[in-house]
Amino acid sequence: MTTVNSVLGPLEVADLGFTLTHEHLFTASAGIQRTYPELFGDFQVLTNEVVSALSEARDGGVRTIIEVSTLDLGRDIRFLADMAARTGVNIIAATGIWRDIPRSLWNRTPDEIAPLFVREIEQGIEGTGVRAGIIKVANDAEGVTREGEIILRAAARAAKQTGVRISTHSYAPGRVGEQQVAIFEDEGLDLNRVYIGHSNDSTDLEYLLGLVARGVWLGFDRHGTALPIGPDGEGRAQTLAALIKAGAGNRVMVSHDWSVLGVSRTSDPRASRGYNSDGWLYAKRRLFPRLLELGITQEQIDQLNVDNPRHFLGG
């Protein structure tokens, strides 16, 4: 059987169940939670809110969450392992680098950085023995910068060495996914191992279907979000329905990019419920019923979060 690294050890891909492919438990900046804990209020309150949100998701049918917080997003690997153990939700942690690329990496080469990602996949993160199961990279409205390209190439080389998949943050209105794909192609990476995230910030079917034709997976992973980028909820549902009807439903995965506490929000973890009262169950409660109204079948909906993550991670 094929396995993927979870924070509690190897997980059979066949046992993933309903999987959310791009989420966060909480986000911050590298080292800030330990250095300035007062910015996070009472951390026990945050912990309780995370346990509550994960338990609610579990009871609603969510079995696995791919948690794509990296070093520069305040990844706390011990916290992730504790949350998985306490709630029974499978959590897959990330190596890689998000948008806040540390200055100490700006002038390193991909061949210097790739082994760092490989170590976190094969040996573990921060001496815990907890191994990453996904590689996260990010490029936003500025496109792929010089520093961003170094990280993309390092991620591709780590993915080729380990077989672990890549999940990207992209800026779909600027078609940044195409820039990412071009670099992965130049690195000789099998694009079936690549997930272009935040693709549903665009309604441009020509762009989205073009990415699918090149062999990548699409993350329709912003739903119930506070970020004012791209279409509203109805536009996102309509675009997803159109993709499925165009025959691309077997290359799309649905998630939210939601976190109990976000990097730029108040220290009160309950504030995130103000814009998404459903948390990690938004898709199940709001998006999927709308897809049924738009003529998508339950079988096609099930494919998005059960079959497709299994095929993406398992090959």
Tally the domains of the chain. Answer: 1
Q: Is 311 a catalytic residue?
A: no
Is 136 an annotated catalytic residue? yes
**What stretches in the chain show pLDDT beneath 50?**
none
The yes-or-no answer on residue 24 being catalytic is yes
Catalytic residue among 72, 198, 221, 256: 198
Q: What is the pLDDT of residue 1?
A: 59
pLDDT for the residue 274: 75
Q: pTM for the full model? A: 0.97
Task: Identify the pLDDT of residue 81.
Answer: 98
Neighbours of 76 (CB within 10 A): 17
User: Is 73 within 8 Å of 28 (Cβ atoms)?
Assistant: yes
**Catalytic residue selected from 42, 72, 100, 136:** 136
Specify the 3-state DSSP secondary structure of 5.
strand
Which CATH number belongs to the domain containing residue 27 in this structure?
3.20.20.140
Reported as a single tens digit per residue, the pLDDT across 208-260 is 999 999 999 999 999 987 777 899 999 999 999 999 999 999 999 999 999 99
- Domain span at residue 225 reads 3-314
- Identify the active-site residue in 72, 221, 223, 256: 223
With beta carbons less than 8 A apart as the criterion, state whether 151 and 96 touch.
yes
The residue whose two tokens read 């290359």 is: 251
User: Which is catalytic among the residues 72, 221, 256, 257?
Assistant: 257
Q: Say which amino acid occupies 45.
A: V
**Among this protein's residues, is 169 annotated catalytic?**
yes
Q: How far apart are CA 197 and CA 267, in angstroms?
A: 27
